[in-house]
Amino acid sequence: MKDITARALNIAQVRGAAYADIRVVSRDTQRIAVKNGKVEALQQDETQGFGVRVLVNGAWGFAASSRLELQHVEHVVTQALAIAKASALVKARDAHLGPPVDITESYETPIKINPFTVPMNDKITLLLKADEEMRRVKGVKVTRAEMAFVRENKLFASTEGSLINQEIVESGCGIVAQASDLQTREEQVRSYPNSVGRHQQTRGYEFILEQKLVENAPRVAEEAVALLSADQCPSYDAATIILDSSQLALQIHESCGHPIELDRVLGSEAAYAGTSFLTPEKLGRFRYGSEFVNIVADATVSGGLGTFGFDDEGVPAQRTEIIRNGIFVGYLTSRESAQQLGLGKSNGTMRADGWARPPIIRMTNVNLLPGAWEVDALIADTDDGIWMETNRSWSIDDKRLNFQFGTEMAWEIKGGKKTRLLKNATYTGITPQFWQSCDAVGNEKAWIVWGTPNCGKGQPPQVAHTGHGAAPARFRNVRVGVIK
Amino acid sequence: MLGENKIREITDQVLALSKADQTEVIVNATESALTRFANSYIHQNVAENDVQVRVRVVYGKKIGVASSNDVSPDALRRTVETARAIAQLQREDPEFQSLPAPQTIQRVEAFVDQTASFTPEQRAHVVGVLCKKAKAQNVVAAGAFSTTATETAVANSLGVFAYHPGTFADVSTVMMTDTGSGYASFTHQDARQVNAEALANEAIDKAVRASNPIALEPGEYTVFLEEYAVLDMLNFFGMLGFTAQAMQEDRSFLKGKLGEKVMDERVTIWDDGCAPNAIPLPFDFEGVPKQKVTFIENGIARDVVYDTATAQREGRPSTGHSLPAPNSMGPYPMHVFMAPGDTPKNEMLKSIERGIWVTRFWYTRPVHRMRVLVTGMTRDGTFLIENGQVTKPLKNFRFTTSYLDALNNVRAISRETKLFYNEWGSASRVAPALVVDGFRFTGVTA
C-alpha cells in the first residue's frame, strides 16, 4: 500500500497542493445475531479503499475510491484537486494547519483473544444459550442476542512526512428481551449490558466472556415482563434522581461530548448536527457543573471505544481536561480549528468513518471521572428519589441545552431503599443547570467505560465509535415524567 | 457508472462460482459528491466512488452472507467462499423456504445524465448563490448540496435479475442571524432543477423573521406543521408501525387494528417504490417487484409491508420491501407518500386563532412505540400564530406527543406536497403541510 500512498502524495504535491494526506483503510466486520432461538444473521463484511485530502489555494478537496489500484490513484487525486479548486471559488479565508506533524509510528489495539480466530460455533452457542435463558421466562415475546467484531487497518501518510500504521480491534455484545401486552397497548424492553444492541470496547474476545450474557439473561427477561405491570413513573417538577452508569454515559455523550466539539462551536456543523452553547468566551470561566464534575477526553484509556494511537490527521492520542471542578476548560480540536481559536496544537480528535469520508472532530472517550461514593451508600443517602437505568430514548436540541432522556427501568427510592419498580421514566432539563445540580458521583468500583457504537454526525453521514467512562451519579431538582 | 452489462457480468460470475443450493447477489454501485458550506463559504467538499457486492448462499436451510467492495475475480471468489464457510457453521432455519422466483419488474426511468455528471464547479456555483444572497442580507449561510448516481442490481440462482439506475440531487440550507434561523431544502432526480435563489429567499426570509424570539409557555397548541415537520411523522410511522415485523412482534400501533379507523378520515398514506416523480426503486433487495401498499386509507388501517420471510410466516406473498440480507430490521417502507388535502398552504393559517408555526422537527426519538409517542425539538423557524397570522418568533420548544393522536386531530391538509430524500434510510418521502390541534409541547429551550 505504500506505493499507493507515495504516488498519491507525489501527484498532489506536483500539481500544487500545499498539503495532502491519504488514508488507506480496510475494515472487516463480523456480526452474529440470534433472535427467538434462531440464528438470524451470520455475516462477514469487508470494505477497503482510500481517501485523499488536499489543500489547494487555501481550500479543501477530498476524493475517495474503493479501487485500490496504483493506476487509479491519479484519477482520484485529480478529482480531489479539482474539488479543492472549486471550494476555493466560495472561500472566506485560507485554511491553516499550524506546525507540521511528522510521525512514523504504528499502533495496535492490545487484545488477549483475537475475536476473529475464536470459532464461530463458540460464539453462536453462547448467544443461543443466552437467548434460551431469556425465553424460559414466561411472558417474553421477543428475545435477541448479538455479537459484533470490527478490525480496521489504517495506513496514514501525509506530505509533511507522516507514515502511520494502525490496527484497531473492537468487540461488542448484548442481549434484549421484549414483552408486550396488547390489552394495555404496553410494550417493554430490557437490555444488557447496554441498550441500542450492545456494549462495545476496543478489546478482544475476553471482553465478551467478561460480560456474562448467559448469567444475566434470566434477570433481563424477568425485568421486561415485570415492567408490563409496573406503575407508570410519576411526574415531578423537581425530583432527586440517580442515573446508572450506562445512562449517565449517554448523558455525558449528548450534553458534554457534542458541545465541546470545536467544529460545532465554530459553525461547521450549523446546518446539520447544530452548534454549541459552549461558545469561545466561556472557555476557562464558565461554570458547567458542580465542583464534583470532572470530565476528560481521553483517547488513551484502556479498552475505550474511542481509544487509538493516532487520529486521522496523524496527531497522537491524548488526554485533555474538559471540565475541571465544574469549570469548562477544554474543547475537542483539529489542527485547523485549534489554529482558528489560537489554542496551539490539536488535541487529536479528527476521526473518519472508514476510507470514504474525510476526518471531522469526533469524541474519543469523554469520561466523567469517579467520585467518592459507594453506590449502595449513595442510594442509602437518598430519602426520596428515583433510580433510572439503561437508556431507552434520547433527544437534545441543536445547541445541546434542552435534553430529554427515557430509561428502560426505574426504581422509586424511599428512605434510602429501592422500593417500587417504575416504567416509562423520563427526565428533562437544561445542560448546565443539570450538571450544576450534581451532588454525588460514584467511585471507581462502579466506573465503566461504556461504548457508543452509533454516534451520527456530518454530511455525508458518518458513524463514530466513542467511549464514555462513568459511575452512577445523583442530581437534584430534576424534572421527571412528561408522559400523560 | 458500471452499466447494466458490467453489473450482470459480476452477478453472473458470483452465481457461477457458488455451488450452493441457492445463491443471491446484490450489487450496489454509487458515485456521489457533496459540497458543504458554513459561515457562508465551502469548508468541506467530497466525492466518493464505491461498489459493494453482497452474497447470500443457501445450503439446505443453512444461510450465510458475506460482502466486499472488491469486485476483482479473486475477491468475488473469496466472498463466495466466505459466505459458504459461514453457511456451513450456521444452524438450520426451519422457517426458510426459498429465495424468490423471478417476477416481472417494471422499469422506471429515474436516471438523469446531467445529475450524474454534475461537476464540483456547478455545485460551487449553486452554493455561491446561496452564500452571496446570505451576505447581502447580513445573515450566515450553512448547508450541503449533494449529487448521487446509483446502480442497484439483484440476481439469484432461480433466474432473478433486476437492475435499476437512478440519480438525485439534494440541497438543504440553514440561514442564521445572531438570534434566529431559517431552513429550506429541495430534492429532485435532476440537479438542474435546483433553484438556489428560491431556496435562499425561503430560508433567509424565515431567519430574519425568526430573530429575537420570545419564550412561550409550553402546553397544548394548534400547530401549523410545514412539510419538513410532517416528513418526520412519516419516518416514524414507517419505522414503528407500517411493517410486518413490527406487527408480528406485537410492537406496532396497528397490531389488532387493521380494518379499523385509526386516523382522521382525510389521512391516506401509502408506499410506492415505482412512483416516477419521487426517487424510485422498483424492486427490493431480494429482487421482488415493489407493490404499492396502502397503510392508511381515509383513516382506516389497511396493510403493512412484507419481505419474503415475514410474508411466508403468514402464508402470503412478499410486497417487495426487503432490506439486504441478513436483515434484523425486517421489511421497510422506503417510499412513503401522504396524500394531499384540498386547502392551499397559504390559506391554512386562516383557521388558527392562536397556535404555533413549526418549520421542522429536530432530534426526534420514540418514547413509547405502541403509542407512537415521540419527543424532539422544533428548529429553524418557530412562530406564534394569532388570528390567522404569524405574529412573533418563538424560542424552540420541546414536544412529547403522540404522532398517532396528531393524525387524529387534523384540521387541514395542504393541497401542495414536497419530496424529500432521507440520507440515513436511503428513502424518499412525499409530505403535505398540516394543521393539527392539541399538539403537546413539554418544554422550552434556554
pLDDT for A448 equals 98
Residue-wise pLDDT for A205-224, tens only, equals 999 999 999 999 999 999 99
Percentage, residues of chain A above pLDDT 70: 100
Is residue A5 scored above 80 in pLDDT?
A: yes
Is residue A483 scored above 90 in pLDDT?
A: no
Residue-wise pLDDT for A131-177, tens only, equals 999 999 999 999 999 999 999 999 999 999 999 999 999 999 999 99
End position of a domain, from candidates A229, A247, A281: A229
**Would you kindly state where each structural domain of chain B is located, as residue ranges?**
4-207, 214-257+271-283+337-444
**CB contact, 8 Å: B328 with chain A?**
yes
Q: Grid coordinates in use for B146?
A: 449533494
Check whether residue A271 and residue A388 sit in a common domain. Answer: yes
Please say whether the beta carbons of A85 and A79 come within 8 A: no
- Chain A CA closest to residue B327: A41
Is residue B425 scored above 70 in pLDDT?
A: no
Whole-number average pLDDT of chain B:
96
Q: Grid coordinates in use for B252?
A: 406496532
Check whether residue A222 and residue A244 sit in a common domain. Answer: no
Contact (CB<8Å) B34/A85: no
Q: Grid coordinates in use for A103?
A: 510521525
Contacts of A459 in chain B (CB under 8 A): 34, 36, 44, 144, 146, 423
Residue-wise pLDDT for A35-84, tens only, equals 999 999 998 999 999 999 999 999 999 999 999 999 999 999 999 999 99
Check whether residue A160 and residue A261 sit in a common domain. Answer: no
Check whether residue A213 and residue A250 sit in a common domain. Answer: no
- Residue B265 exposed, middle or buried by CB count within 10 Å (0-12, 13-18, 19+): exposed
Check whether residue A374 and residue A385 sit in a common domain. Answer: yes
Contact (CB<8Å) B123/A47: no
pLDDT for A444 equals 98
Using CB atoms, which residue from B82, B176, B398 is nearest to A428?
B398
CATH classification at residue A62: 3.30.2290.10
Check whether residue A237 and residue A225 sit in a common domain. Answer: no
**CB contact, 8 Å: B368 with chain A?**
yes
Mean pLDDT of B237-252: 96
- Chain B CA closest to residue A356: B48
Using CB atoms, which residue from A268, A397, A399 is nearest to B43?
A268
Pairing of strands A231-232, A417-423: parallel
End position of a domain, from candidates A185, A210, A229: A229
pLDDT for A123 equals 97
One-character DSSP codes across B260-326: SB-S-TT--EEE-TT-TTS----B-TTSPBPPPEEEEETTEE---B--HHHHHHTTS---S-PPSSS
Check whether residue A311 and residue A451 sit in a common domain. Answer: yes
Residue B446 binned pLDDT confidence (cut-offs 50, 70, 90): confident
Check whether residue A194 and residue A279 sit in a common domain. Answer: no
pLDDT for A349 equals 98
Percentage, residues of chain B above pLDDT 90: 96
Query: Under DSSP, is residue A363 helix (H, G, I), strand (E, B) or coil?
Result: coil
Chain B interface, best mutation among A28, A42, A181, by max B CB count within 10 A: A42
Q: In Å, how far is B341's CA from the nearest CA of chain A?
A: 30
pLDDT for A17 equals 98
Check whether residue A304 and residue A156 sit in a common domain. Answer: no
Q: In Å, how far is A444's CA from the nearest CA of chain B?
A: 32
pLDDT for B424 equals 62
Cα(A283)–Cα(A297) distance, rounded to whole angstroms? 15
Mean pLDDT of A255-274: 97
Contacts of B367 in chain A (CB under 8 A): 392-393, 406, 424, 426, 483
The B residues from 54 to 83 touching A (CB cutoff 8 Å) are: 63-70, 82-83
CATH architecture, range B4-207: 2-Layer Sandwich (3.30)
Chain A interface, best mutation among B2, B26, B44, B96, by max A CB count within 10 A: B44
Check whether residue A93 and residue A105 sit in a common domain. Answer: yes
Report yes or no for ipTM above 0.90. Answer: yes
Contact (CB<8Å) A270/B43: no
Chain B interface, best mutation among A87, A181, A278, by max B CB count within 10 A: A87
Mean pLDDT of B57-63: 96
Using CB atoms, which residue from B326, B368, B440 is nearest to A41?
B326
Residue A476 binned pLDDT confidence (cut-offs 50, 70, 90): very high
Contact (CB<8Å) B49/A270: no
Is residue B423 scored above 80 in pLDDT?
A: no
pLDDT for A196 equals 82
Check whether residue A429 and residue A474 sit in a common domain. Answer: yes
Contacts of B33 in chain A (CB under 8 A): 83
End-to-end CA distance of chain B: give it in Å, rounded. 49
Tally of CB atoms within 10 A around B78: 16
Number of domains chain A contains: 2
Contacts of A49 in chain B (CB under 8 A): 50, 69
Mean pLDDT of B362-381: 96
Residue A352 binned pLDDT confidence (cut-offs 50, 70, 90): very high
The B residues from 15 to 54 touching A (CB cutoff 8 Å) are: 32-52
Q: Grid coordinates in use for A375?
A: 453506590
End position of a domain, from candidates A181, A212, A229: A229
Is residue B219 scored above 90 in pLDDT?
A: yes
Domain extent, residue A413, equals 232-480
**CB contact, 8 Å: B121 with chain A?**
yes
Residue A197 binned pLDDT confidence (cut-offs 50, 70, 90): confident
Pairing of strands A448-457, A473-480: unpaired
Whole-number average pLDDT of chain A:
97
Chain A interface, best mutation among B363, B378, B380, B426, by max A CB count within 10 A: B363
Residue-wise pLDDT for B101-160, tens only, equals 999 999 999 999 999 999 999 999 999 999 999 999 999 999 999 999 999 999 999 999
Q: What are the beta bridge partners of residue B383?
A: B357, B393
Mean pLDDT of B263-276: 97
Contacts of B362 in chain A (CB under 8 A): 274, 397-398
Is residue B401 scored above 90 in pLDDT?
A: yes
Pairing of strands B427-444, B335-338: parallel
Is residue A434 scored above 90 in pLDDT?
A: yes
Check whether residue A340 and residue A466 sit in a common domain. Answer: yes
Contacts of A461 in chain B (CB under 8 A): 423-424
